[in-house]
Amino acid sequence: MPTYLRRIVGEDALEYLFAPLVSSTFDSEPEDLSGVFVLLALRLLSDGFTLQWFEGGNGLLTRTLAQRVPVRSGANVLSIETEPDGAKVRYRSASRERSVIADAAVVALPGSLVPQVCPKLTPAERAFFDEVHYVRGVIAFLLLERAPAALPYYGVSFPRREGIDLYGLAADHHKQGAAPPGAGLLNAALTARTAERLWEAPDAAVVQHVVDELARTPVGRLAPPQTAVHRWEAMLPQFRVGYTARLAAFLSRTDRSPRLAFAGDYLVGPYTEAALTSGMRAATEIARALDKR
């Protein structure tokens, strides 16, 4: 991606505007992302994008949807296979193994886990899922007694040329209800290289490193009384070079696993609305397929 973007916008705009924006939004180096994906994302961000959020967090969406249908949670799905009479789902719940035969199943697992749970994928489906890749990431959350006056923005991105071990900082206290009144809540995303280096480090060491790195920026030295560190083995799907073409081929495939549809942000874009869109598509696919029977 950068060669193309560098040619169009020049070195400085790439390093000090586009690369930080892309890296802090998608927790990736721009070199690791597809050009098509980055251009689409830049169009989205520059085309009247405004920050919106669910009060109390993104879980509000799934909790609200779950109120409308019977939901069984806490089940670890072991396999999903198409049988002559339906889609067989084997799962473990309360340390007992059970199974259910459904008319059809929407597989809404992270894409990288699909091949191990769905053993009967078509060869083309398996080849696609083997290429779905996720970013491994670490985020440190810092709760501050007061929201820092130096941060009137929601997001701050750090240009990599400055050698800061963070992609960016989100000031979550701007989201209503995310932090106690007047308090500051920041989340700092470590760069991929730093996340790799500190993956096994104690939380306190990660927080200390984040605070030290921020002290080198205009944000200054912070003294958060409460902190938390989250590590995600599969944080966000990474739309790598060549992925959009593979995705287009997958979406238009004719040889499909019967009675199965797939949903997840890796099929549309790495954010909640995209995951929802993929779920609505999957439901439509299943409804059409069952209608034809």
Binding site for ligand FAD (CB under 6 A): 58, 76-77, 108-110, 113, 117, 139, 232, 235-236, 264-265, 270-273, 275
**170 vs 214, which CB is nearer to ligand FAD?**
170
| Closest listed residue to residue 169, CA positions, set 24, 22, 14 | 24
In angstroms, give the least distance from the CB of 12 to ligand FAD. Answer: 29
In angstroms, give the least distance from the CB of 195 to ligand FAD. Answer: 12
**17 vs 274, which CB is nearer to ligand FAD?**
274
In angstroms, give the least distance from the CB of 213 to ligand FAD. Answer: 18
Separation CA 107–CA 78 (nearest Å): 12
In angstroms, give the least distance from the CB of 10 to ligand FAD. Answer: 30
**140 vs 214, which CB is nearer to ligand FAD?**
140
The β-bridge relationship of strands 134-144 and 226-237 is antiparallel
> Any idea how long the chain is?
293
In angstroms, give the least distance from the CB of 198 to ligand FAD. Answer: 16
Region of 38 please: left (phi>0), alpha (psi -120 to 50) or beta. alpha
Write out the two tokens for 189. Answer: 């995303």
Separation CA 132–CA 262 (nearest Å): 13
**184 vs 237, which CB is nearer to ligand FAD?**
237
In angstroms, give the least distance from the CB of 193 to ligand FAD. Answer: 18
| Closest listed residue to residue 196, CA positions, set 255, 249, 136 | 136
Separation CA 235–CA 140 (nearest Å): 14
H or E element, residue 244: helix 243-251
Separation CA 132–CA 121 (nearest Å): 15
**108 vs 283, which CB is nearer to ligand FAD?**
108
In angstroms, give the least distance from the CB of 16 to ligand FAD. Answer: 24
**113 vs 124, which CB is nearer to ligand FAD?**
113
Q: Which residues contact 75 (CB under 8 A, 6 or more apart)?
A: 91, 92, 93
H or E element, residue 26: helix 19-26
**164 vs 235, which CB is nearer to ligand FAD?**
235
In angstroms, give the least distance from the CB of 4 to ligand FAD. Answer: 26
- Return phi, psi of residue 2, to 5°: -60, -35
| Closest listed residue to residue 11, CA positions, set 159, 206, 132 | 159
**257 vs 278, which CB is nearer to ligand FAD?**
278
